[in-house]
Amino acid sequence: MYPVLTTLSGHSYKQVKVVKVAPTEIRIMHADGFATIVLSDLPPFVRSKYGVADPAAEAAQQQQRKMDNAQASMLQRQEREAMQMMELTGLTFEVVKQAIINRDWCQANPGGGMMNGAMVAADSRNQLLAKATETLNTRRPIPVDTPPPAVMPGAGAAVVAGGPGPAVAVPGFIPGVIEIISARYSLPNEQARNVKNRFAKLVPSGTIYAPVSIQVTDQLSDAALDMGNYTTAKGVGVSVTSGNVTAGAAAVVIQEQNRNVLTVDYRYNGRRYKKQAMEGTLIVLP
């Protein structure tokens, strides 16, 4: 227990109790909650009680934690998307989720690779992606009557506006026309790319009778295709000190995968809406 514990990086904690000791770090409970401190950030008189600092192992542990957090975040996103797609497709949660997992893997491995311990060739990867896309594009068929012709005021005769509707629709869905006002595609905090014309070609023209789902990929922007997904590298520097003497230093470069975000501004039945979707997911309009 420590009344006050101040780390070498300047963080100060009060009413500290060490609750867990690991080879590269300690876990503490303090007045404001919990915290994890790597051994190399502890003052020497405290560090000596818990082990020898290993900057390389600490950096590897931090990188593994980031990877685990990214994996957990991806699984949560896949499950949320599966819940949405289950309603649209009429398929079971397990089938839709597996299709999403397969799609995401295929997009991350354009040339094929290892999947569940087995090697997947490029051709097999393409077939897997096509099947996953087909599954996610499935829509629950509901028979409906064809909308009656619209009569123009004062014309004295029936005039068809927009032609007959499709043979299927989603129950409770209000038919309408999607009008794209703007569509922008970019990495967070970077200048947005105008992709309105390319995105508008993916939106059905005329009246729709069911939600429209569109896959968000770098095909929306040639600049995004040229850049690729891996766009950032972070340097993590760690130093080990003993008193006022620096005993060693380590640097680790971590490459992270950034995803572009699509922002669409549009009108539907006279009302204006704005939606965002991350690269690799579906945007559902309206």
Please give the domain boundaries of the chain with CATH numbers for all domains.
1-53 (2.30.30), 54-139 (no CATH), 171-286 (no CATH)
- pLDDT more than 90, % of the chain: 38
pLDDT value of position 68: 85
What are the distances in angstroms from CA 202 to CA 133, 186, 219? 15, 18, 11
Amino acid letter for position 213? S
Q: What is the mean pLDDT of the chain?
A: 79
For residue range 218-274, list pLDDT tens digits in order: 888 877 666 655 444 444 444 444 444 444 444 444 444 567 888 999 999 888 898
User: Which residue stretches of the chain are H helix?
Assistant: 44-47, 55-89, 93-108, 122-136, 196-200, 222-227
141: confidence class by pLDDT, cuts 50, 70, 90: low
Would you say residue 136 has pLDDT above 50? yes
Closest alpha carbon to 192 in 265, 121, 84, 104:
265
Would you say residue 38 has pLDDT above 60? yes
165: confidence class by pLDDT, cuts 50, 70, 90: very low
Cα distance between residue 29 and residue 22, in whole Å: 15
3-class SS at 62?
Answer: helix
263 bridge partner residues: 184, 276
How far does CA 120 lie from the centroid of its chain? 24
Cα distance between residue 61 and residue 76, in whole Å: 23
Closest alpha carbon to 209 in 243, 238, 235, 174:
174
Cα distance between residue 195 and residue 264, in whole Å: 9
How far does CA 163 lie from the centroid of its chain? 39
What are the distances in angstroms from CA 255 to CA 137, 233, 234? 33, 4, 6
Cα distance between residue 249 and residue 254, in whole Å: 17
pTM above 0.85, yes or no: no
For residue range 10-28, list pLDDT tens digits in order: 999 999 999 999 999 999 9
- Residue with structure tokens 């989603």? 170
- pLDDT more than 70, % of the chain: 76
Q: Is the dihedral of CA 52, 58, 61, 62 positive or negative?
A: positive
For residue range 108-125, list pLDDT tens digits in order: 999 999 998 899 999 999
Cα distance between residue 230 and residue 241, in whole Å: 34
